Amino acid sequence: MTESKQNVFQWFVEVFCKQWVWQKFCVNLVYKKFDKWKGWLYLSPALVLLAIFTIWPIFNTIRMSLLEGYTTMKAVNGQSFAFGIGNFTRVLKYPGFITCLKNTVLLCVLTVPISTFLALLIAVCLNSIKFLNRFLQTVFFLPYVTNSIAIGMVFAAMFNMIIGGSVRPDSVGIVNNVLEALGFNYVNWVNAGSEYWANIVVMTVYIVWNALPFKILILLGGLQSVNKQYYEAAKVDGTSRARTFWRITVPLLSPMLAYVIITGFIGGFKEYSSIVGIFGESMGPVGDAYALDTMVGFIYRAIGNQEGTASAAAIILFFIIFAVTMVNLYVSKKKTHY
């Protein structure tokens, strides 16, 4: 082999190898880089929207809550605001907000236990029958597929009295008709001059009715996955039905129970549209507007004119929901049997 030939060969190898390595490098660069970015590319529409409508609001709402007396109008006019917790103290001292807080908590405390217990009872009964099972399941799920404003209007009509010329109203409403048939006196539930406790009863009935389907569905799903052996064992031991219920069914269902109770509380603290359904936007009987206002109602009314206050109220709501959820999780961790 001559020197020149060897050189050519070396040169060829060198160039070819470099070329090849270079190519591989390029391919790697393009593909690997693209692979790295492909995920972000697919996520981009979601991320852009989330940045604008979810992430930015978190920061901005916190900012507005900490600027005393912040309103968009004043901000547009170039006014500056002092930094501080004035919005929070003002909201917590404002009687209207206290009413909202009281109503919300009261409705939560009333409706969550009642609806959970009723749903558990119905689910257990449904689980132990065969005939009509499918049909009844559908019936109990039906309230879920409704418009809570629309059906709220039906409930309002059922409790509503139509005042006539005489002392006694022309029509006292179907619920009062049933009460009178059972020997009670009729009650002014939702009309002008109705009392607070009566309004709360109406709201409780409606919210429980509305909350049942979801809870029944979840609990029934849980019951169907419970191992039948436990019940066989209880039967062999001659355990009573009540004992079986409290000692086997409830513990085995506890994860689902914890779930429906937590979601129930979260939903309860955000109660709003069911009250609009029954009482309308005035959030109370005629002549007593906002008697049944809730936290969410308070926030919505402050949007567009009192952003600082609204933000502070929303953050308070967040902390309440957060705290209640944490307490629930803590309790359920102690009591749940997996």
270 is a site residue for another protein (CB under 8 A): yes
Q: Are 226 and 249 within 8 A, CB to CB? A: yes
Which 152-211 residues touch another protein, going by CB under 8 A?
Answer: 153-155, 157-158, 160, 162, 164, 168, 170-172, 174, 177, 192, 209
Among 1, 2, 3, 45, binds another protein (CB under 8 A): 45
36 is a site residue for another protein (CB under 8 A): yes
- Among the listed residues 33, 168, 126, the one whose alpha carbon sits nearest the alpha carbon of residue 176: 168
- Among the listed residues 99, 293, 285, the one whose alpha carbon sits nearest the alpha carbon of residue 193: 285
**Residue found under tokens 């749940």:** 336
Q: Is 163 helix (H, G, I), strand (E, B) or coil?
A: coil
d(CA 147, CA 152): 8
Nearer to another protein, 21 or 58 (CB): 58
Here's the x/- map for another protein, 271-310, by CB under 8 A: it reads as: -xx--xx--xx----x---------x--xx--xx--x--x
Q: Give the nearest distance from C-beta 16 to another protein in angstroms.
A: 27
257 is a site residue for another protein (CB under 8 A): no
Query: At 294, which amino acid appears?
Result: T
- The secondary structure of residue 195, as a DSSP letter, is -
Query: At 172, which amino acid appears?
Result: V
Among 120, 321, 324, 328, binds another protein (CB under 8 A): 321
Which region, judged by CB under 8 A, interacts with another protein, from 8-16, 21-29, 52-60, 101-109?
Answer: 52-60
**Residue found under tokens 């955000």:** 270
d(CA 276, CA 148): 9
50 is a site residue for another protein (CB under 8 A): yes
d(CA 224, CA 266): 26
287-314 CB burial, b ≥16 within 10 A, e <16: ebebbbbbbbbbbbbbeeebbbbbbbbb
Among 27, 149, 233, 331, binds another protein (CB under 8 A): 149
Among 20, 22, 25, 56, binds another protein (CB under 8 A): 56
Q: Give the nearest distance from C-beta 17 to another protein in angstroms.
A: 28
Q: Give the nearest distance from C-beta 160 to another protein in angstroms.
A: 7
Among 54, 79, 227, 240, binds another protein (CB under 8 A): 54
Nearer to another protein, 3 or 237 (CB): 237
Tokens of 224: 């169907």
Which region, judged by CB under 8 A, interacts with another protein, from 1-9, 77-85, 89-97, 261-269?
Answer: 261-269
Which 76-105 residues touch another protein, going by CB under 8 A?
Answer: none
Nearer to another protein, 17 or 58 (CB): 58
Q: Give the nearest distance from C-beta 14 to another protein in angstroms.
A: 33
230 is a site residue for another protein (CB under 8 A): no
Q: Are 64 and 70 within 8 A, CB to CB? A: yes
Question: Other C-beta atoms within 10 Å of 209: how many?
Answer: 17
Q: Are 291 and 285 within 8 A, CB to CB? A: yes
